[in-house]
Amino acid sequence: DAKTTQPTSMDCAEGRAANLPCNHSTISGNEYVYWYRQIHSQGPQYIIHGLKNNETNEMASLIITEDRKSSTLILPHATLRDTAVYYCIVRVETSGSRLTFGEGTQLTVNP
């Protein structure tokens, strides 16, 4: 699986958009970009994933650059409950394929 690079930490004001970047310059053509988050002392929670088109769901939006070497997760209106470690992972989309977690970004949403 391709390696990802994320900032160690970010801060965001409550109610503002949180934009979390991820670099994956060695991504292969058949690898998807996945985002998970982990709130302290809980299991990771799936957020969103995509291949090359931008994706949006009830939690977030995922913007993938045209060359697919980087992406941005957008939380449009961050709340205090969004404080968590956010992991960007690239993986081949096949059943049973593993998720390899990097260090992630600690997002702190401030009141």
Partner 1 sequence: GAVVSQHPSWVICKSGTSVKIECRSLDFQATTMFWYRQFPKQSLMLMATSNEGSKATYEQGVEKDKFLINHASLTLSTLTVTSAHPEDSSFYICSADRGYNEQFFGPGTRLTVL
Applying CB under 8 A, which residues contact partner 1? 32, 36, 38, 41-46, 49, 87, 93-104
Instruction: Compute the least distance from the CB of residue 15 to partner 1, in Å.
Output: 26
Torsion-angle region of residue 81: left (phi > 0), alpha (psi -120 to 50) or beta?
alpha
Q: Is 71 exposed, middle or buried (0-12, 13-18, 19+ CB in 10 A)?
A: buried
User: What is the SS3 assignment for 81?
Assistant: helix
Closer to partner 1 by CB, 46 or 80: give it.
46
Instruction: Compute the least distance from the CB of residue 13 to partner 1, in Å.
Output: 25
Closer to partner 1 by CB, 11 or 103: give it.
103
